């Protein structure tokens, strides 16, 4: 029966594993499925892609709208080496005879609205988001019933190392939101929020905290559409998500985890669309949150019209003295190579804050794009300031 075993094994192993890894340049991307040698990352951050497709007429790699046509060799193997890529994580597709498909060599990650291929270009000399030899917290997958949406929802919850052992200890909570067309899995599987916290806690740079990673998409019964409602740049407008946070998530977390259930021990932050959501929910509920973070997003979505601090967002920024006295931290971050319209939109949001006299911290992430490495850096900068 050995033939059967072997036949099954051959059928399932991606073609790239048939090459000897030692002879290949660079390193297999850390985002590959186990055993897949392609895509590969070269020391200068060029990426090599490869697909065996002798019958195909055209194969193109597409990374965030940029296309790299592949060339076929005599054996029917298509390949391309990109110019140096920005460090960090990039969703990508292969366009195979006109159809966007996943690369069989890549793991998939929920983003761009599908389970998508992704390639990580490692940042040299950095280990703050790697799994290190330190105590690790758990990430819990939890189902909860929402009174707001009248549906079951899922959330990922990080508990820090020691949470189960120190049964008399109570913890502050950071609520962390994902971006557009992503979901509650992103901050764990792409952001490595759990590893970032594990490492910061081991170094005693951050206090042990619970991190709740929600799904930002929420609709009341009868509402439709795949995106949260963002009706206007001038009014707070994640109403179903805000209600889910206030009526479902925070009470559930405070009832079933050993939290310190007050505003001084509760933070909210998010990325991109989730930054808009976190800033709106946070600044709109200062009785609930003392620490608020926005990673690669203001409260004005992708809009690039000037904002009047006296009128925008229900006037919540017009009394800077009251706001500054109450908010322990308003923190914004952005990568230096983020594409339009993010720099303009976030710039106008900051301009409004400046005009209003609102205190905030701004972090500029050198050389990173509107992608997960920026947000890992944001969390790595933001978490140590919390709850101190």
CB of 134 to its own copies, least distance (A): 10
For its own copies, the closer CB: 34 or 222: 34
CB of 247 to its own copies, least distance (A): 18
CB of 307 to its own copies, least distance (A): 13
CB of 110 to its own copies, least distance (A): 8
For its own copies, the closer CB: 189 or 313: 189
CB of 123 to its own copies, least distance (A): 20
Q: Please, which contacts does 69-77 make with residues 24 or more away whose CB atoms are closer than 8 Å?
A: 76/52, 77/50, 77/51, 77/52, 77/53
For its own copies, the closer CB: 15 or 337: 15
Going edge to edge, which strands form the sheet with 40-41?
27-28, 40-41, 47-52, 77-81, 71-72
For its own copies, the closer CB: 34 or 366: 34
For its own copies, the closer CB: 14 or 293: 14
CB of 250 to its own copies, least distance (A): 17
| Cα dist from 242 to 80, 187, 232, 379, 380, whole Å | 45, 19, 16, 22, 25
For its own copies, the closer CB: 95 or 385: 95
- Enumerate residues 6+ apart whose C-beta is below 8 A from 126: none
Structure tokens at 312: 């925008």
What's the gap between Cα 11 and its chain centre?
34
CB of 89 to its own copies, least distance (A): 16
For its own copies, the closer CB: 330 or 346: 346
CB of 343 to its own copies, least distance (A): 13
CB of 83 to its own copies, least distance (A): 22
Are 263 and 287 in contact, with CB atoms under 8 Å apart?
yes
For its own copies, the closer CB: 157 or 352: 157
Between CA 31 and CA 41 the distance in angstroms is 11
For its own copies, the closer CB: 51 or 268: 51
The residues of the shown chain that bind its own copies, judged by CB under 8 A, are 1, 4-5, 8-9, 11-14, 33-35, 51-58, 94, 96-102, 104, 106-108, 112-115, 131, 133, 136, 138-145, 152, 157, 164-165, 167, 180-181, 188, 226-227, 256-257, 301-304, 341, 345
What's the gap between Cα 139 and its chain centre?
15
Strand partners of residue 268: 175, 292
Three-state secondary-structure class, residue 188: helix
What is the CA angle 284-288-290, rounded to 5? 90
| Cα dist from 5 to 2, 34, 36, 104, 229, whole Å | 5, 19, 20, 22, 52
Report H helices in the chain. 2-12, 186-189, 193-202, 239-243, 250-256, 273-283, 320-326, 342-356, 372-382
Strand partners of residue 171: 259
């Amino acid at each position: 029966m050995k033939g059967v075993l072997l036949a099954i094994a051959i059928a399932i192993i991606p073609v790239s594993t048939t090459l000897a890894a030692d002879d290949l340049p660079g390193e297999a991307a850390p985002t590959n499925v186990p055993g897949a040698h392609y895509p590969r990352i070269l020391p200068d951050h060029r990426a090599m892609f490869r697909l065996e497709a002798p019958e195909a007429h055209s194969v193109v790699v597409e990374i965030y709208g940029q296309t790299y046509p592949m060339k076929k060799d005599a054996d029917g193997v298509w390949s391309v080496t990109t110019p140096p890529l920005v460090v960090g994580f990039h969703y990508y597709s292969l366009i195979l005879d006109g159809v966007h498909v996943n690369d069989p060599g890549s793991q998939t990650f929920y983003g761009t609205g599908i389970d998508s291929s992704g390639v990580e270009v490692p940042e040299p000399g950095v280990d703050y988001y790697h799994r290190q030899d330190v105590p690790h917290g758990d990430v819990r997958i939890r189902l909860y019933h929402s009174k707001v949406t009248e549906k079951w929802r899922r959330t990922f919850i990080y508990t820090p190392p020691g949470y189960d052992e120190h049964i008399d200890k109570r913890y502050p909570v950071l609520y962390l939101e994902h971006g557009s067309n992503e979901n509650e899995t992103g901050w764990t599987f792409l952001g490595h929020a759990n590893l970032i916290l594990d490492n910061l806690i081991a170094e005693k740079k951050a206090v042990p905290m619970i991190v709740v990673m929600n799904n930002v998409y929420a609709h009341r019964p009868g509402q439709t559409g795949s995106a949260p409602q963002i009706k206007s740049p001038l009014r707070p407008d994640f109403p179903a998500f805000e209600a889910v946070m206030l009526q479902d998530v925070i009470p559930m977390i405070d009832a079933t985890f050993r939290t310190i259930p007050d505003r001084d021990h509760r933070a909210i932050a998010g990325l991109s669309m989730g930054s808009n959501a976190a800033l709106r929910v946070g600044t709109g509920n200062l009785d609930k949150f003392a620490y608020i973070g926005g990673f690669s997003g203001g409260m004005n979505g992708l809009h690039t019209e000037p904002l009047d601090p006296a009128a925008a967002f229900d006037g919540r920024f017009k009394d800077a003295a009251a706001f500054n006295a109450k908010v322990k931290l308003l923190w914004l971050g952005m990568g230096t190579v983020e594409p339009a319209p993010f720099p303009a939109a976030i710039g106008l949001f900051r301009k409004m804050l400046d005009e209003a006299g609102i205190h905030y911290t701004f972090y500029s992430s050198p050389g990173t794009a509107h992608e997960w490495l920026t947000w890992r850096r944001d969390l790595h900068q933001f978490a140590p300031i919390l709850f101190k």
